[in-house]
Amino acid sequence: MNRLFGSVRSRATLGATLVVAVALVTAGFAVVLALRSNLTAEAGTRAERSARAVAFDLAARTAYEDLTGLDGDDGPVQILDEDGGLVAASEDLERISGTATDEVKPRPAPPAPGDDDDDSDDSGDSGDSDDFDDPDDSDHAEDSGGSGEDLAPGEIAGETTFGNGSATIDGDTEDYRFAAVDVQTHDRGRLTVYAGAPLAAEHSAVDTAQTAMLIGLPLLLGVVAGVTWMVTGRALRPVEGIRREMAAITASEDLARRVPEPGTHDEIARLARTTNETLTALEASVERQRRFVADASHELRSPIASLRTQLEVAAAHPELLDLDGAVEDTVRLQHLAADLLLLARLDAGERPADSLVDLAALAREETAGRTGVVVRTEPAQVTGSRGQLGRLLTNLLDNARRHARETVTVTVRREGAWAVLGVADDGEGVPEADRERIFERFVRLDAARSRDDGGAGLGLAIARDVAVRHGGTLTAGAAPTGGALFELRLPLVEEG
């Protein structure tokens, strides 16, 4: 399980499926709620239309038995008086809930004024009204679910109240949306009409939508998961190719091999190109290290062989010992070992110390005691290792001294945000085509290949590496006197 969901492909598929699932469930709920709300509002509109039609007939003094809305074809209808009593209801209404009363059988109608019966003497003073003649009894209107508006005789209330309930008509039970409308009649007082519209269409539509969601959602999520799985697999296929090739390169140690680069322009293609560039740089670095080891072995072999020969001769013939030559070979061997050690430290990324160094003072110190050297300086402070910068300047001075005819000139100046140290000689100069090659390790130009006159070809390489490690540059050019000019540029530190 951990291995399955540990892959990018699996996590991408799972994440996309979860996001789509959340979005679909949220959208589904929103659709169902909107559908239910719209259908309920539509049922309420139908119920209100039925209630107002009955209220209009009542306002027109239509008798209860002549009301067309009580046939039950459009839904259940109840008519309540101001006391909340049922005075009329739909035919075949057997049960009802959700209105102001659950009565389904109207109460007997009060006797009309002037009727001759046993109670005529008691009611004679009521004159022109019956029990529903109090239009201002708002409390009764609120109890019966009415609007509570003050209405004139024959006027229908503008406000409609709604509610949900159920009713059973002729044995059929359904849910209904009820609308309540008040009407002030001329002869029966204030009445409240309840009319219901069936919610079967709303329930059917909502049930259909929910069923479709329950069936379609898993299918759609399956499609999303499958498509995401295939798309991510196709997108990550080049990555697997890169991984296999890198594994093969690691196993074979063949840095000449390269990973396949897709023909696209996406992140994976850029990853492949960057990987190949890294392999190229790594191959060049390994090859440089191999050459370095080979050249170092070759350079060490000569003084060691010479020293051994002299010692063997001295052992056999003491009188033939060339002591000066042995010391010279030993010193050359010591210098070469020191150069190799410094290069190894530089290659390992050793950071120079962050101490302040005055290049003018360093130039005067390193040129002290040297003949034929002219120094022109101005104060210029940089940060770095005084020892490494001193070694850089010493190497430049030794190189200039070997090639100069008479004079070596050392200058230190400030140039914008840079401190510039220049070492120039009046020799033959460096050909333009060789001005970068001379900074390679163990490189000596034809005019300076004699080990008696020159070193092992590491001085300028060390100087260039020290300059780079200090955030600067070291370049070779032509001096005004026709010789070579080496310029070191380092970030200037402003004196505080």
432, HSE (Cβ side, Cα atoms, 13 Å): 0
Q: What residues pair up with 474 in beta bridges, in sequence order?
A: 488
Q: What are 109-152's pLDDT values in tens digits?
A: 555 444 444 444 443 333 333 333 333 333 333 333 556 678 88
Whole-number average pLDDT of the chain: 82
* pLDDT number for residue 167: 92
Phi and psi dihedrals of 331, rounded to 5? -65, -45
Residue 301 confidence (pLDDT): 75
Q: What radius of gyration do the chain's Cα atoms show?
A: 53
Position 6 scores a pLDDT of 61
How far, in Å, are 44, 99, 209, 211, 459 from residue 201 at the CA level? 12, 21, 12, 15, 95
**Strand order through the sheet with 172-184:** 86-89, 77-80, 190-198, 172-184, 161-169, 93-97
pLDDT confidence of residue 45: 93
Three-point CA angle 450, 451, 452, nearest 5°: 90
Domains of the chain plus CATH, in order, are 1-111+129-252 (no CATH), 267-347 (1.10.287.130), 355-491 (3.30.565.10)
- Check residue 112 and give its pLDDT: 47
Within 416-468, strands assigned E span 418-425
Structure confidence at residue 449 (pLDDT): 40
Q: What is 45-63 written as a DSSP string?
A: HHHHHHHHHHHHHHHTT--
The Cα 372–Cα 405 span in angstroms is 10
Q: Summarize pLDDT for 343-382 with one digit per residue, the tens.
A: 777 777 767 777 899 999 999 999 998 999 999 999 999 9
Distance separating alpha carbons of residues 72 and 316, to the nearest angstrom: 140
Q: What residues of the chain score a pLDDT lower than 70?
A: 1-6, 108-148, 298, 350, 444-456, 495-496
User: pLDDT > 90: what percent of the chain?
Assistant: 36
**pLDDT value for 487:** 95
| Cα–Cα distance measured from residue 89 to residue 183, given in angstroms and rounded to the nearest whole number | 16
Whether 380 and 359 have beta carbons less than 8 Å apart is answered as: yes
One-letter amino acid for residue 358 of the chain: D
Give the strand pairing for 77-80 and 190-198. Answer: antiparallel
In order, the DSSP letters of 312-380 are HHHHH-GGG--HHHHHHHHHHHHHHHHHHHHHHHHHTTPPPP-EEEEHHHHHHHHHTT-TTEEEEE---
